[in-house]
Amino acid sequence: MITLLAWLLGAVAVLLLLPVLVLFAQVLLACLPARAQAPLQGPRGRVAVLVPAHNEASIIGATLASVGAQLHEGDRLLVVADNCSDDTAALARAAGAEVVERSNDQQRGKGYALDFGVRHLAADAPDVVIIVDADCQLGEGAIDHLARRCSQVARPVQALYLMRAPAGAGLKVQIAEFAWRVKNLVRPRGWARLGWPCQLMGSGMAFAWRDLARVNLATGHLVEDLKLGLDFCANGKPPLFCPQAQVVSYFPGSDEGLKSQRTRWEHGHLGVLLADAPALIVASIARRQWHLLAMTIDLMVPPLALLVLALVGIFSLAWLACLLFEVMVPALIATVAMALLGTAVLLAWSRFSRDVIAFSVLMYAPFYALKKIPLYLGFLIKRQVEWVRSKRDES
């Protein structure tokens, strides 16, 4: 009985150690000088910026202004007003955008809006399509960087997409901003140091028209961007991280909006991890698609809060078993994993987030993880499977 307990605890500890090792390696690599990218050369081509929007009247004007200022003659700015019940379409037209409206109560989700927009663009196809969410602001030169890099490498290109805490946000949102920065800046920067691809992040994504027109976008998947990146990589088009182009958004100001957003992202991520990752690992090794293997290994790192909760749990159980039954190996493995995770978090904060949150705020992270237990229990009991827009504010 004790042998079986030791084996089970050891197996779980090793399973948790593996994603911790990946995260630790990514943080260490990210701390090294960034790998130099080839200078931008060649023509930029005609660009179409595609903005899917569902009831975004409060923010669509600012987003379109940041995009429009970077467009060249012959470029297009297309807004898909998807199942809107507000003035999104009218405001987008007033801002100078081309607008198409889509109404379909049965097929809801960003993927369907993107498919609708791409089919509309087909009549006058651009060279490059850049997808920008309706709540995002583009950094200076982002369109040019994305379009030129995409034309140069003939692969999808992902901008650095950051989410920021609104002014006066509480500790929970500040920790969420740090976790997002680890996921969307530190980890892809680490993989890029080895020349490996990054996940697609949903906004600030550039695609060659000939590639995007061939894929099926019309899905209601919770994390359509994650699936899309894996599909492109499996087809020999691994996405390239381009931190020189930056896209910024803000977390919802309401607790309801924040909860809805996190549930959609994390339930979607965990669903893909459990359903697709094992098969992707086997397929990538069998076909010697090492870029796909690298993306899948990255996918298998769960959300940071869940990793902390799982590791604290197995650490506690392993040391309890060690004290009661002298089962030492699982406790040692769990301790190594805890030390590596703590070191990775501290390095990521020190190198990339010291200007974002104070060290005292970082100490709140374990309590933040505890508050997300209902979210992860919800995945086991009744996971979210339908796309739901996050509520932006209290109104």
Both 292 and 176 in a single domain?
A: no
CB atoms within 10 A of CB 393: 11
166: which 2 tokens?
């609104």
Examine the domain organization and report whether 269 and 285 are in the same domain: no
- Written as tens digits, the pLDDT of the chain (395 aa) is 678 888 999 999 999 999 999 999 999 999 998 777 778 877 889 999 999 999 999 999 999 999 999 999 999 999 999 999 999 999 999 999 999 999 998 888 899 999 999 999 999 999 999 999 999 999 999 999 999 999 999 999 999 999 999 988 899 999 999 999 999 999 999 999 999 999 999 999 999 999 999 999 988 877 889 999 999 999 999 999 999 999 999 998 777 878 888 888 899 899 999 999 999 999 999 999 999 999 999 999 999 999 999 999 999 999 999 999 888 999 999 999 999 999 999 999 999 999 989 999 999 999 999 999 999 999 888 787 665 656 555 44
Same domain? For 134 and 70 the reply is: yes
Angle 329-348/304-325 helices, nearest 10 degrees?
A: 150
Angle between helices 224-234 and 255-286 (to 10 degrees): 20
Both 335 and 228 in one domain: the answer is: no
Q: In terms of domains, do 378 and 242 share one?
A: no
- Asked if the structure places residue 12 within a domain, the reply is yes
User: What's residue 2's pLDDT?
Assistant: 75
**Is 390 part of a structural domain of the chain?**
no
Do 286 and 216 share a structural domain? no
CA-based nearest residue to 270, from 179, 187, 380: 380
Q: Which residue in this structure is represented by tokens 């593996």?
A: 18
Q: How far apart are CA 290 and CA 391, in angstroms?
A: 39
Does any domain span residue 392?
no
For 186-247, the DSSP string reads IHHHHHHHTT------SSSEEEEHHHHTTS------TTHHHHHHHHHHHTT---EEEEEEEE
- For the record, the structure tokens of 99 come out as 């607008």
Q: Which CATH number fits the domain that encloses residue 149?
A: 3.90.550.10
Same domain membership, residue 312 and residue 328? yes
Q: Which of 232, 255, 274 is the last residue of a domain?
A: 274
Residue where a domain terminates, one of 226, 259, 274? 274
Pair (183, 232) in one structural domain:
yes
Does 257 lie in the same domain as 108? yes
Based on the fold, state whether residues 195 and 61 are members of the same structural domain.
yes
Q: Which of 274, 294, 318 is the last residue of a domain?
A: 274
Work out how many domains the chain is built from and give that number. 2
Whether 78 and 102 share a structural domain: yes
Confirm whether 111 is domain-assigned: yes
* CA end-to-end distance (rounded Å), the chain: 57
Is residue 39 domain-resident? no
Q: Is 127 contained in some domain? A: yes
Q: Which residues pair with 52 in a beta bridge?
A: 80
Burial pattern 351-388, b for ≥16 Cβ within 10 A else e, equals ebbeebbeeebbeebeebbeebeebbeebeeeebeebe
Q: What is the pTM of this model?
A: 0.93
Residue 357 located in a structural domain: yes
Q: Phi and psi dihedrals of 169, rounded to 5?
A: -65, 150
Residue 295 belongs to domain spanning = 2-32+280-382
Nearest to 219, CA basis, from 158, 149, 268, 287: 268
Cα–Cα distance list, 302 to 15, 179, 298 (Å): 12, 12, 9
Q: Which of helix, strand or coil describes residue 58?
A: coil
- 223 and 316 fall within a common domain: no
Task: For the beta carbon of residue 76, count every other beta carbon within 10 angstroms.
Answer: 17
